[in-house]
Amino acid sequence: MGDLAGDRAAEVVIDTRTDAAGVPLIAVSGELDTSNVASLEAAIASITAERPERLILDLSGLRFMDSAGISVLIGATAKVEAVYLRNPSPAVRRVIELTGLTGVLPLEPS
């Protein structure tokens, strides 16, 4: 029983860039939980230090997110005027809907 799932950190990949309109974008893929949420916090802090008006979080590749991930997303809304989610995966969209956060973390306008 040496290698239980709880013994290793979830894998997450975070990519920061700017979209075609010049809006900062953070793409998050994999699994986001308490074991690795600090990397997303650091990416958000780096971007928000520049004081952008908007921030887009591309969650299309995020398969799982726990309450620690939700907390970081909510925290981003306090640092930027507008935070939008781009293409959240079905699992992540469901978490946002079930927690009643669709008004706080809206989908990116088309």
The pLDDT value recorded for residue 110 is: 67
What is the β-pairing status of strands 12-18 and 82-86? unpaired
The confidence score (pLDDT) of residue 29 equals: 97
The CATH number assigned to the domain with range 5-98 reads: 3.30.750.24
Taking only the tens place, the pLDDT of each residue in 73-109 is 999 999 999 999 999 999 999 999 999 999 999 999 8
Return the exposure string of 12-23: e unless at least 16 CB atoms fall within 10 Å of the residue's CB, then b: bebeeeeeeeee
pLDDT digits (tens, 9 = 90+) for 8-40: 678 999 999 999 999 999 999 999 999 999 999
Domains of the chain: which residue ranges? Answer: 5-98
The pTM for the full model equals: 0.89
pLDDT average, residue stretch 36-53: 96
pLDDT at site 1: 38
